Structure 1
């Protein structure tokens, strides 16, 4: 997926556009053997928020890209421009992977790319998208949806989640993690939009689990129970579960499993360790247990994942530490 084209027309949201430019248009992060070639495609000079943007190419060039990104569409009360919709549809028919950020899903829906499938958009516009396009199964409770060659993200910051997911698919979790570190964002966020709708987002060091989560990640190779976590946090198991739901959007055991799978992904990419050794290092016990949970979470067996991403990232020295970002489908 070497070429990425951003579809730009009047009325695009500047945040999503600049975010995609930062991810796909900057220099390659550590560990990447190649990187994307980014172009902006539009009908001419366009107004994006308060900025005037000069595209590199016309909208017809979308059809020559490997990946097409449609940023957020500001005015969802009206139909997106027909030339934009036609160009996105043509690009998909030509084989491009097409992804929308935030309300860019309205463009994909107008192009018929979401019919009969699951999609998401900003939670505040989910009902509107479903009403205008009844053939789309709109899920307002996820950060992004990956349907293979068609992907959609929720609002604002979730656009970064989807962009990092694309990088993870193309270059592996180690490269996606390196990019996330450079951008000072988490490589993957658990949970869905629901946790961000009414609840305030806690400061990184100002929530009840701030000390517990890093402590647990450093000990993934040890058997950890809910009672162990509760004891470390100095609270009851019931209170721990409530705080985990509030902070991470999931349960303590599910959160632990995802961290173990992430760690397994990075070890598969960067070491020659056997699946048995990785199962021990990640606290999953046996190769059978690792394979079962890995296949269920990532969608492929560990050996297949290693063959896919080892050729892109290459082996690294020794056994890595810390968790890689997961591929969630």
Structure 2
């Protein structure tokens, strides 16, 4: 089945030609909400999970690899668990911008791998992102910076219960960062939770699609996957970065949320799997989105 999906995508690329630029999808959500799992599930549903990285039509980028290089003072804080990795200032935004711009222009990019145990970049180890038709970029603060947020053609927010996220965070920090339970809970209450409420949660309003329960929400994953297939098959138009829709004259440009069809209004797929239709605006309401 996966092989058939891969062949379908390759056939699409041959028939329609490569996209003028990759379709960029931003994925945001709180810590341990399941952002990476959602991205991996989308790749799997498109039959791309076992494809060689040079041939993949869809690639994943994680902001966890974009933490700043810490000086001695901050390195000491990180060892004590008193450095706030959930604050916007912890990320190398210059590198994020450069990487996304290079991906946008169809270049191959190399991203330094980040070691979560030593809180430093691994020497001579990189993640290589080859040109792809679709690129997923996931991270807690993916939508925080407006100029970065505006680079995405589609924006997803993974909305998971706080207790579930905390339990996942505890297990992850013990396994990947080698921390003890007391340190994890203190850090969560002191830094993680307040940062989520101040910097991450307010960006939920920018999402085109909100996904409760993350990867368990198969209805939402199915809708998103089908939308990506439609784009790859040429069924939907999207901007090519120069003011016109891909393959069109510009008359079929973005709707207010970036699409000419399919998910053209922000939707939320409920915990029961029901799709909540977009609320119809009154004629007197503005069509612009709050900032």
TM-score norm. by structure 1 comes to 0.22
Q: Which has the higher contact order (CA 8 A, sep 6+)?
A: 2
- Structure that is richer in strand per residue: 2
